[in-house]
Amino acid sequence: MTDNESESSELVNRVLEGDEQALAELFSECRDRLWRMVNFRMDPRLRKRVDPDDVLQEAYMNAVQRIDKFRAEASRSILIWFRMIVTQTMVDIYRRHLGAQKRSAGRDVSMHGGWKSDSTSMSLSFHLLGHLTSPSHAALRAEISQQIDTALSTMNDIDREVLALRHFEELSNNEAAQVLNITEQAASLRYVRALSRLKDVMEAIPGFLDEWQTDEPAS
């Protein structure tokens, strides 16, 4: 067990005793990945009104309220426990601000929020312009980022979700399995299958594989 882990388990013990300071430390260890999740999942309409930091702040307060449930609920993964709380907080905030129908609110937040930002692919392709070696190359890359958007939107919910968990939220296989409530083995297979479906869609785009197979310097 690494130092890090033993520090964490020390924190865990303190949280189990009701130490809020320790809870705050655990929360801040997970903060980056929680931010990623909020940033990615947040409905674009909500995003205009609420900062992801505010969501995390409120989620943390909710976690404090729930500290006595920590042992029962967080035993498998602390990150996933926080993530649940953050998700629920987001739903609450969503309802408060957008007054949406009960039924659709949760779905929008958890499944679709991140996939339909119209401006993103455009911005991204501009981002890529910075690297352009020729205009046609740039156009191709821009095309690709739009194609990824489209490709993802044609995939089924579970494939899309597994890709989101593994990439946008940077969850491990184990964590993704917990979120999806399936075994690690199943989660692992689903992820590989989703990648391979993505590949099938992307293969239709000329030049795509050439583009990404050329190893780029790590950025």
Partner 1 sequence: MRFLDSMNDSTDQYEAELSGFPVVSESSKFSGRDPLEILVAEYSERKRQGQPASIEEYAEKYPDLADEIRELFPMVAAMEKWKQGKESDSLRQNVPETLKIDRLGDCRIVRELARGGMGIVLEAQQDSTNRRVAVKMLPWRSDYVPEWKDQFQQEAKTLAKLRHPNIVPLLSFGEYRGFCYYVMPFITGVGLNWIVDRFREKEGVVYADEIAKLRAEQTVENQQTEKKRSNTESAELEVLVPADPKAEKHRSLSRQSWKKFATIALQIASGLRYAHSQGVLHNDIKPANILLDAEGRVWITDFGLAQPIDREAPEVGESIAGTLRYMAPERLSGDGDARSDIYSLGVTLYELLTLSPIWEETDHNKLAQLILDSTPLPPREVNPKIPRELEAIILKAINGDLKSRYQSASEMAADLLRYLKGQPISAPKISRIKFFFRNLKRRGRSE
The correct pick among 19, 40, 98, 111 for binding partner 1 (CB under 8 A) is 40
Q: How far is the CB of 157 from partner 1 (least distance, A)?
A: 17
Listed in sequence order, the residues at least 6 apart from 64 whose beta carbon sits closer than 8 Å to its beta carbon are: 20, 23
The correct pick among 72, 99, 103, 204 for binding partner 1 (CB under 8 A) is 72
Listed in sequence order, the residues at least 6 apart from 15 whose beta carbon sits closer than 8 Å to its beta carbon are: 22, 23, 26, 67, 70
Count residues binding partner 1 (CB under 8 A). 85
Is residue 173 at the binding interface for partner 1, with CB under 8 A as the rule?
yes
Which conformational region is residue 12 in: left (phi greater than 0), alpha (psi within -120 to 50 degrees), or beta? alpha
Query: Is the Cβ–Cβ distance between 194 and 165 less than 8 Å?
Result: no
The correct pick among 2, 4, 103, 135 for binding partner 1 (CB under 8 A) is 135
Is residue 49 at the binding interface for partner 1, with CB under 8 A as the rule?
yes
Listed in sequence order, the residues at least 6 apart from 41 whose beta carbon sits closer than 8 Å to its beta carbon are: 87, 90, 109, 110, 113, 114
Burial (CB count <10 Å: 0-12, 13-18, 19+), residue 123: exposed
Binders in 1-30 for partner 1, by CB under 8 A: 9, 12-13, 16
With contacts defined by CB under 8 A, name the span among 19-27, 39-47, 153-161 that binds partner 1. 39-47
Q: How far is the CB of 80 from partner 1 (least distance, A)?
A: 9
Is residue 213 at the binding interface for partner 1, with CB under 8 A as the rule?
yes
Query: Is the Cβ–Cβ distance between 103 and 117 less than 8 Å?
Result: no
Binders in 183-202 for partner 1, by CB under 8 A: 183-185, 188-189, 191-192, 195-196, 198-199, 202
Is residue 92 at the binding interface for partner 1, with CB under 8 A as the rule?
yes
